[in-house]
Amino acid sequence: MEETYLLNVEGVKKKILSGGRGELPKLQDGSKFTFHFQTLKDDFERTVIDDSREAGMPMEIIVGKMFKLEIWETLLSSMRIGEVAEFWCDTIHTGMYALVSRGMRRIAEGRDPLEGQKHRCGMGNMFDYHSTGYDDLDELQRTPQPLIFIMELFRVEDPSAYKRDTWAMSKEEKLAAVPVLHSEGNRLVLRREFAQAAAKYQEAVICLRNLQAKEKPWEDGWLKLESLVTPLVLNYCQCQLELGEYYEVLEHTTELLQKHNDNAKAYFKRAKAHAAVWNEREAREDFQRVAHLDPSMAAAVKKELKQLGERMRKKHVEDRKRYQGLFHSQRRVDSPAPAPFKRAPPSFAG
């Protein structure tokens, strides 16, 4: 079944590839679309740019939440449940696709979609960067062009029928969700379910970072949100220490200390991560900063430094033994074989 027609929107054509069922869904603010999509270039090869099936998760958008690619809400509103349709959209509707795709790819990779974004509008952010971090999206930024979207609509849910994802919440809903996520993370830590706890803390941090993106850095609103972010990041890092993800801890504590260089707890967690990966000098420096910033932690620092010294001495002994073994093995390999015994020639009396 293929039927091509124009929607009542300039620069959009629709082709139904497989019919859906029932009537068009009744929508309201907060209704959630769940669908798979494929994005293609309008070229001879119909080059695929994104495919949600390859990413391993369907896409979800919320009606009325100002999704940056506004045309998608219009396209989905024209579909029935189970329908598969192909939409051709002119450049007037696709200029923001590179930025939207960058965010979706970061989410699929488990990263914060707003990481590194400046306090500017979406279009301002797009032109402010030399690169999205993805070559094909950089090309779309340089040369905006018509795109083809193939969508399969699975379901449409009323706001009361689903648990709201934090990214889809209002400011008030996000602020209310943060202490709940924090409490859930603490409960999971008590059960030593560190990976699950880290996920809760991370979700809360992303909530707050999304809100911070709408504030001016270092002004009151931003600082209040930052005061909520800091303990969540520290809890997340403690979970990563328990899970042995030491380089993750180094990354997050270093980023935190760039903003708050007097945070003793951040130095303490970074010191433990340095010690775990044998960065003795860096660990000692961070432990000493902890004792200087917070004398009440001096006993804990003393204990950690003692353990670090013992571990380093043990490592040096083991390394020396290993190197000696390698040296002796090398000597055996490199030593020339003894010369064969030569019998002296017989002598004859004259």
Are 224 and 289 in a shared domain? yes
In a domain, 333, yes or no: no
**In terms of Cα–Cα distance, which of 32, 263, 11 is closest to 146?**
11
Same domain? 44 vs 173: no
Shared domain for 77 and 171, answered yes or no, is: no
Residues 26 and 135 in one domain: yes
- Of the two residues 33 and 171, the one the predictor is more confident about is 33
78-89, pLDDT tens digit by residue?
999 999 999 999
Say yes or no: 79 and 172 in one domain: no
Side-chain half-sphere exposure of 113, counting CA atoms within 13 A: 18
Q: For residue range 40-63, list pLDDT tens digits in order.
A: 999 999 999 999 988 777 888 888
The residue range of the domain holding 118 is 3-161
pLDDT by residue (tens digit) across 289-343? 999 999 999 999 999 999 999 988 888 888 777 777 665 565 555 555 555 444 4
Report yes or no on 199 lying in a domain.
Answer: yes
pTM: 0.52
Which residue, of 143, 161, 179, is where some domain finishes?
161
Does 205 fall in a domain?
Answer: yes
CATH classification of the domain holding 198: 1.25.40.10
Q: Bridge partners of 13?
A: 6, 88
Res 117: pLDDT: 47
CA distance linking residue 250 with residue 254, whole number of Å: 6
Domain closes at, from 108, 139, 161: 161
Q: Are 96 and 221 within one domain?
A: no
H helices of 243-297, where? 246-259, 264-276, 280-293
Q: Which residue has the tokens 């029928």?
A: 161
**Residue 195: what residue type?**
A
Same domain, residue pair 57 and 80 = yes
- pLDDT digit string (tens) for 88-144? 999 999 988 998 888 888 777 665 555 544 434 444 443 444 577 888 899 988 889
In a domain, 280, yes or no: yes
